[in-house]
Amino acid sequence: MNFSFFPGWPGALLLLTLTLLGACSVAPPAEPQLPFDLPDRFDSSLVEPFQPTERWWTEFEDPLLESFVDTALVRNPGVAQALARASVAEARVRLNRGERLPQAGIGFTSARQRQNMGSMAGPLGEFVDDELSFISNNHNASLDVSWELDLWGRLAAASSAAQAEFLASAEQLRGARQSVAAQVVQLYYEVVHARAQEELSARTADTLAEMARQISNRVDVGIASPADAMLAEANLGSARAGLEQRREALARIRRQLDVLLGYYPSGALTTAEVLPEVPARPAAGVPAELLERRPDVRAAELALRAAGYQLGAAERSFLPSLALTGSAGYSSDQLSGLFDSSNLVWSIAGQLMQPIFQGGRLVAQVDIAEGQQSEALHSYVETALNALAEVESLLAVDDLLAQREDSLDASATAAEEAVRVSYNRYQQGIDPFLNVLESQQRALDGRSAYISARHARIENRISLHLALGGGFEPRIEAAEPAPQDTPARTADRP
C-alpha cells in the first residue's frame, strides 16, 4: 500500500524512523562451544608460552631457502587466488553497506508527442477527411531518492554476515601464505634429500664398479671364481638401476618446486648440498591459544558467525518492510523555462509491505540458513579437532624421530665398517663373496635410511611450525623480485 504525505509530515516521519532504527540492533551470534574440554597443556609438551617467530625458516640458516620463500609469497598462484578472494569479500562488505543507505539519482527526460483526435463531421453531416492532431512537449528534471528502512535489522544482519565472511577470507589468506611458505621449505629439503640419496647411490655404484674390476682381474689370474665376477656385475647393475631411480625422483621434485615458486617447470633450481641440523623445537603454548591463532580455525569460526547473521537476516524477512521514496524537480513543456520556480514539482511516499504468502520461499530461506549454520558449526568443530590432533601428533613423534635418527646413524656406520672387513676377508680367502654382497647391501640401506630419518625430522619440524600457526605475518608489500634477485638456477641436470 502507498501513502502520500502532506508537506508537514516529512519531519515527523524522519523522527519516527530514527526512533525505530535506534531501537533495532543486531546481536552477534553466540560464541561456538566445543563438545569437549580443552586440557591445560599438550600431552607431549611442557607448559611453555608460545613464542611467535615471524620467519621461522631462517632458523635453518640457508639464505637460498629464504629467497625461495620470499619469491613464492609474491609469485605463487595460490596466494594470488586467496588475495583475490579477500578483495572480492571486501567489495561485498561495501556492497551490503551501501544497501543500507539512501539511494539517490538525477534524471532528465525530454519527450515530444503527437496525438490524433480522429475525423470530424461537417455542417451537412458529411465527414471531413482531415484529422485533428495535437503535438505536445514535456521536459522533466528530477532528483529521485529511495530508502528501505532497516526497521528490524535485516539489512544490518546481512551486512554483518558479509563483514564476517571478509574477515574469514583474510584469515584464509594468512593461512595460504603460511601454507605456501611451509610447502616451499618442505619441497626445498625434499630436493636436498633426493640429491643426498642420489649422491649416495652414485658413490655406491662407483665403489661396486671398482670392486667388479678387481674381482675380474682376480678371475683372469685364476684366484677367483667366475661366479664371483658375475655376482659383482649383477650387484653393480642393480646399483646403477637404483641410481637412475633416484635421479628420476629428483627430477620430479625439482619441477614441483618450480611450480610452487611460479616458474616454468624446467627443473633447474639449485639447493643446498646436505640436509641441515634440526633446529630446537618451538614452544607449543596451550591448546586454547592455538585455536585463537590458527588461521583455519579462525576462518571456520568466522564462517560460523557469518552463518548466524545470515540466519538472523532470513528470520527477519517475515517482518514488515518500510520503504521511502521521494522526488523533487521541474516539469515544463518549454525547455527554456524548465527551471522556473513555477515549474517546481515534488512528491514523497512511503510503502509498508507485510509478507503474507510467498509460496514457502521465506520458510525455505530460513531452513537453508539453519542448515548452513549447522554445517558451519560442525565444520568448526572438525577444524579445531584436526588442528589439535596435528600439534599433538607432531609433538609426540618429535623425540621418537630423533632417537630413530641416532640409531640408524650407528647402524649405518657399523654396516659400512662391515663392508671393509668382509671384503678383506674375501681377498684373504676366508669368507665367500656372498658375505661381501650382503654387507654392501646392508651398508647402502642403512645409510639411505639414516638420510631419510634426518629428512623426516626436518619435515616434522616444518609441519610443527605450520600446525602451531601464528607468528608469521609476511611482508605483503614485497615487490616482484628483480631478475638478479631471483633464486639461482643451473643448467646441470642429474
pLDDT in tens, 365-402: 999 999 999 999 999 999 999 999 999 999 999 999 99
H or E segment to which residue 129 belongs: strand 127-149
- Using CA atoms, how far apart are residues 77 and 180, in angstroms rounded to an integer? 10
pLDDT score at 51: 74
Which of these ranges, 106-115, 187-196, 324-333, 467-476, has the smallest mean pLDDT?
A: 467-476
Estimate the crossing angle of helix 154-220 against helix 63-75, to 10 degrees. 140
Other C-beta atoms closer than 10 Å to the C-beta of 485 total 11
The angle formed by the CA atoms of residues 162, 153 and 159, to the nearest 5 degrees, is 10
Place of cell 521514496: 325
Phi, psi of 279 (to 5 degrees): -65, 170
For 132-176, how does the pLDDT look when each residue is reduced to its tens digit (9 = 90+)?
Answer: 677 888 889 889 999 888 888 888 999 999 999 999 999 999 999
Q: pLDDT tier at 12 (50, 70, 90 boundaries)? A: very low
Rg (CA), the chain: 39
The angle formed by the CA atoms of residues 273, 275 and 276, to the nearest 5 degrees, is 115
DSSP for 47-114, written as a single string: -------TTGGGGG--HHHHHHHHHHHHH-HHHHHHHHHHHHHHHHHHHHHHHTS-EEEEEEEEEEEE
For 449-489, how does the pLDDT look when each residue is reduced to its tens digit (9 = 90+)?
Answer: 999 999 999 999 999 999 998 655 544 333 333 333 344 44
Mean pLDDT rounded to a whole number for the chain: 84
Q: Assign domain 31-99+154-320+364-485 to its CATH superfamily.
A: Outer membrane efflux proteins (OEP) (1.20.1600.10)
DSSP three-state, residue 117: strand
More confident residue, 361 or 477: 361
Which of these ranges, 110-119, 235-244, 355-364, has the smallest mean pLDDT?
A: 110-119
Phi, psi of 398 (to 5 degrees): -60, -50
- Using CA atoms, how far apart are residues 272 and 164, in angstroms rounded to an integer? 43
Q: Return the closest-CA partner of residue 316 out of 150, 165, 160, 96.
A: 150
The residue ranges of every structural domain in the chain are 1-25+104-114+134-149+324-354, 31-99+154-320+364-485
Phi, psi of 69 (to 5 degrees): -65, -45
| Residue 400 vs residues 182, 189, 395, 397, 456: alpha-carbon distances, Å | 22, 20, 10, 5, 11
pLDDT score at 487: 41
Cβ neighbors of 23 (< 8 A, separation 6 or more) are none
The angle formed by the CA atoms of residues 202, 203 and 205, to the nearest 5 degrees, is 65
Which of these ranges, 1-10, 58-67, 414-423, has the smallest mean pLDDT?
A: 1-10
More confident residue, 433 or 373: 373
Q: How many helices (H) and strands (E) does the chain have?
A: 9, 5
Q: Looking at the domain that runs over 1-25+104-114+134-149+324-354, which CATH code has it been given?
A: 2.20.200
* Spatial contact of 164 and 303, defined as CB atoms under 8 Å apart: yes
Q: pLDDT tier at 298 (50, 70, 90 boundaries)? A: very high
The DSSP output letter for 40 is S
H or E segment to which residue 22 belongs: helix 9-23
Chain-centroid distance of CA 6 in Å reads: 56
pLDDT score at 26: 65
User: pTM value?
Assistant: 0.79
